[in-house]
Amino acid sequence: MKQAQNHTKNYLYAMAIDLDKCTGCGACMVACMSENNVPFRRDETDQLLSMKWLRVYKLTNGKAYPDHDVCYLPRPCMQCAGQHEGHSPCVSVCPATATDYDQNTGIVSQIYTRCFGCRYCMAACPYHVRLFNWWDPVWPEGMEKMLNPKVSVRMRGVVEKCSFCFHRFQQAKDRAYAKGKRDIDEQDYQTSCTQACPAGAITFGDLNNPSHAVTQLVKPDHKHHGRPQAPHAFRLLERLGTNAKVYYLSSREWVRKMGDNYLKNEKQAGSH
């Protein structure tokens, strides 16, 4: 579809997570739940049923005590671009156009009221970022007061996922418009997890803007779907061609190697 206001500049929002700095404290998870009205249940210990837009994985190097090492890896939605911008694994399969790739921001959206819960997108996503509302969301009496009015509460039977706090983008756009500015400032649109991370491990911004910190951190190769050129940067499952917009940074080789699948005798791709 042709953009009506073709004078507006295209953004390409992306996130870089420094796994050296990430402490696995979980503040991002809770900041996300708090911002996005994510419901909670009495028993959330089954991770395959737990609604977490952002989940923190625990990676281990598999070595014995005391050479053992662990690393935490926060996993929001990767906002995949796919092989050609917009051919995300999930967007391409949704039968009802309930999820879409926003060409203006590079963010994969989800329309909860259109989704009818076929869960094909969940089967398509290799990162398990897509979550189904198996239950009606219920808040303990009185606690529904903490719901964020900018984000709608999802009903049972639909799929939801991390949106890079898209409502914040819209608010930032409104603010910029009100100020008569054409562009959104880097600080004006930050996701909830980025803002909350007490370790400052998450960097969020526009890859189309060379001055943004995220661009400088990952040095995307725009000719190759934004493949990172920074020495310690990598994306999850790069080889599948999902072309994620979440980048990870780690100084530890074993961690970088955990980002993708490699055959036994294969040298790690992308290590410079």
Partner 1 sequence: MKLDRRCFLALSIGGAAGTALTPLPWKLTDDLSIWSQNWPWTPVPDKGAITYTHSVCDLCPGGCGITVKKAGDRVIRVEGIEDYPVNQGGVCILGIAGPQLLYSPTRVQKPLKRIGNRGEGRWEPISWQDALAMVIDKLKTLRAADKSHSVAGVFGRDRGTVAQLFQRLLTVYGSPNFFSTPSYLDNYEMTLYLMHGMRASVGVDAKNADFILSFGSGMIQGWGSSVYMFKANSLLKSTGRVVQVEPRLSVSAAKADEWVAVKPGTEGALALGLAHVIINENLHNSDFVVNYSTGFETFKQLVLGKYAPETVAGITDVPAEKIVALARAFARARKPLAICGRGQGLTPGHLSDYIAVHALNALVGNINRQGGVIAIPEADDIDWPEATMDAIAVAGMQKGRIDGAGSSRYPHSRSLLNQLPEVLNTGKGDSIETLFVADVNPLYTMPDAEATRAALAQIPFIVSFASFMDETAQMADLILPNHMYLERLEDVPSPAAYPANIIGLSRPAIGPLFDTRHTGDVIIALAHALGGNIAAAFPWQDYPTCLRETLGDKWNELNRKGYWQGPEVAAPLGFGTFDTASSKFEFSNPDLNAALESQPALPQGDATTYPHLLLPYDTMRIASGPIGSPPFLVKSVDETVLQGNDVLVEVNPKTAAALQLADGKPAKLKTPKGEAKVRVHITEGVAPDVVALPRGLGHTAYDDFLAGKGVNYNALVGMTEDPVSGLDATWGIRAKLSKA
Partner 2 sequence: MDTALIPDGVKRCPLPKFAIGLTLVGLVLAWGVYAMLLCWIKGLNQTNMNNAYGFALWIWADLAVIALGGGAFFTGFLKYIVGKDELKNIINYAVLIGFICYSSALLILAIDIGQPLRGWFIFWHANVHSMLTEVAFCLSCYFGVLTIEYIPLILENKQIDKVPFFHNLSHNMHEIMAIFAATGAFLSFFHQGSLGGVAGVLFGRPFGYREHILIWPYTFFLFTWSAAACGPCFTICITKLTEKISGKKLVRDNVIELLAKISGWMLLTYIIAKSVDTWYWATHTAPEMGLHVSHFYSNNALYGYWILFTELVVCGFVPAIILVTNGGRKNKFTLISAVILAAVGVCLNRWVMVLQVLAVPVLPFESWELYMPSWQEVATTILPVAYGIILIMISYRYLPIFPQEKELNPVE
Q: Which residues contact partner 2 by CB under 8 A? A: 46, 48-49, 57, 59, 73, 82-83, 89, 92-98, 114-128, 130-136, 155-159, 236-237, 239-242, 257-264, 266
* Options 4, 6, 65, 211; binder of partner 1; rule CB under 8 A: 65
Answer positive or negative: Cα dihedral of 180, 181, 184, 185. negative
Other beta carbons within 10 Å of 253: 12
Restricted to residues 203-262, the positions that interact with partner 1 (CB under 8 A) are none
CB 191 within 8 A of CB 17: no
Phi, psi dihedral angles at 15 (to 5 degrees)? -130, 140
Q: How far is the CB of 81 from partner 1 (least distance, A)?
A: 29
* Options 12, 31, 73, 90; binder of partner 1; rule CB under 8 A: 31
Burial class (CB in 10 A: 0-12, 13-18, 19+), 124: middle
Please tell me whether residue 148 binds partner 1 under the rule CB under 8 A: yes
Q: Under 8 Å CB-to-CB from 16, ≥6 apart: which residues?
A: 202, 203, 204, 214, 217, 218, 233, 246, 247, 248, 249
Restricted to residues 177-206, the positions that interact with partner 1 (CB under 8 A) are 195-201
- Binding region for partner 1 (CB under 8 A): 18, 20-27, 29-31, 33-35, 37, 40, 42-47, 50, 52, 56, 58, 60, 62-72, 113, 136-137, 139-149, 152-157, 195-201
